[in-house]
Chains A and B, each alone.
Chain A
Amino acid sequence: MSLISFKNVGKSYGEFKALKDINLDINQGQIVSIIGPSGSGKSTLLRTMNGLEEINEGQLIVDDHDLSNPKVDINKLRKDVGMVFQHFNLYANKTILENITLAPRIVLKENTKQAEQNAMKLLEMVGLKDQANKYPSQLSGGQQQRIAIARSLAMKPKAILFDEPTSALDPEMIGDVLNVMKEVAGQDMTMVVVTHEMGFAREVGDRIIFMDSGQILEDSNDPKAFFKKPKEPRAQQFLSKVIGH
């Protein structure tokens, strides 16, 4: 059954069409990588999935919530769909532990003890248990991003959206973040990942979406075959540039 379903979705900023006629169904448990050149609409597409961007045309249903309906209760949906950002966006005024426990306490009404126990388990999973009482600014980018993933997981979501999660990191830090993402992928989580990490897309992903100029040009359920030889000429050209150097 599809968890996320786009039907003829369009999105424009004034004259500029950021998304054109998007049709896409993402099933529960799928690991979907969205790739493509800058400005192709990858991040915009991802951000429509939890309502950070509104759509102008078509129908978008995420976890039975109709995002094309202006009256939809977006907060209900966001409980179940986490998001990890390029620039981490950890709460600067909260400690690491508070970053993870805030939403479970306020939104899910967990008691503090329960939320903290759960947070410590997640911190252990991402290998940062000893950082619990620090503030985000005291951590490296890679550590902050692992915390951001833990923060999303603390809500026990059905899906997590990743918006270029490794693009702002030093090369040395990328591996640690990808390892955490692989571990999350192993837990049967639905993941939609906008990425330039072709290795991750090929090895961990179940599916590749290639976008250009606001359109989905290729949608492949066989990442290995896609990376060997994409069908679309534009995708071939893109891959030869990305992988060729």
Chain B
Amino acid sequence: MNWSGAYTWINLNYLLQGLWITIQISVISIILSSIFGAILGIIRYSKISKVSAFVGFLVDIVRNLPLLLILFFSYFGLPQIGIRFSTFSAAIFAFTIFESAMLAEIFRSGLEAVDKGQTEAARSNGLTYLQTLRYIVFPQGLKKMIAPIVSQFISLVKDTSLATIILLPDLMQRAQVIYGQDTNYMIPIFILVAATYFVVNYLLSLFAGFIDRRLKN
């Protein structure tokens, strides 16, 4: 094991740039999939007959596919039909599709967990369906969704490492490049990368705890 050789400034800086890519991919995918997931979840919840059933069908398909397959599809498959992405965009595309489907189910079940009496009261009070959703059901459902949403985000941050396979220069891929030079770097680099993923995800769950407490008060 060569700790000092593994932890040179050049290597650390190289990994840091990888972390930056991991964070960018994660944040952009989280924002996009939250928007699409919420919209799809609300459509599922609303039971707009055929539309909801169709969304449910798509969501079920995506949820039951391996993420790696979706990643391959967006990077290798889509160019076959003339849609070309950079590595970065292909990764975001794949993660957004997969996470949107996962989040749609979380949104749907969170909304369905809100007591039906709340909807009846709001509708009887003269609010429209959308107003009821906006002021009453969604805010109450959101409280119930925070924990599962955050564990989904944590999965996403970890899953970004799969994009190594399409050579996205993220934290994981750069780690491979470094220990590829010298196997004595392997364990020190693994430990450093593991610690980095841990810190990022742990901060995310602390933040979630903070939001959860704020919402409950």
Contact = CB atoms under 8 A, between A and B. Distances in A.
B124 A78 contact: yes
A89 B120 contact: yes
A103 B131 CA distance: 10
B184 interface: no
A91 B124 contact: no
A172 B79 CA distance: 73
A92 B124 contact: no
Contacts of B135: 91, 94, 102, 106
B124 A82 contact: yes
Contact of B126 (A85, A90, A107): A107
B126 A79 contact: yes
A85 B125 contact: no
A90 B121 contact: yes
Contacts of B118: 89, 91-92
A191 interface: no
Contacts of A85: 117, 120-121
A52 interface: yes
Interface string A49-93: 010100000000000000000000001001101110101011111
A9 B168 CA distance: 67
A4 B140 CA distance: 34
Contact of B139 (A78, A90, A93, A108): A93
A93 B125 contact: no
B140 to A, nearest CB: 5
Interface string B110-146: 0000010110111111111001000110011001000
Interface in A77-129: 78-79, 81-83, 85, 87, 89-94, 102-103, 106-108
B136 A83 contact: no
* Chain B: interface size category: 10 to 19
A94 B118 CA distance: 11
Given A75-B128, A102-B135, A106-B135, A89 B123 contact: no
B121 A155 contact: no
Contacts of B122: 91, 103
Given A91-B118, A92-B140, A102-B135, A83 B124 contact: yes
A42 interface: no
A89 B127 contact: no
Given A91-B136, A92-B118, A93-B136, A151 B125 contact: yes
Contacts of B140: 92-93
A78 B123 contact: yes
Given A93-B139, A93-B140, A103 B127 contact: yes
Interface of A: 50, 52, 75, 78-79, 81-83, 85, 87, 89-94, 102-103, 106-108, 148, 151-152, 155
Interface of B: 115, 117-118, 120-128, 131, 135-136, 139-140, 143
6 contacts: A78-B126, A83-B121, A93-B143, A103-B125, A103-B126, A155-B126
Given A89-B117, A106-B135, 14 more contacts: A52-B123, A52-B124, A75-B126, A83-B120, A83-B121, A83-B125, A92-B115, A94-B136, A102-B127, A103-B127, A107-B126, A107-B131, A148-B121, A155-B125
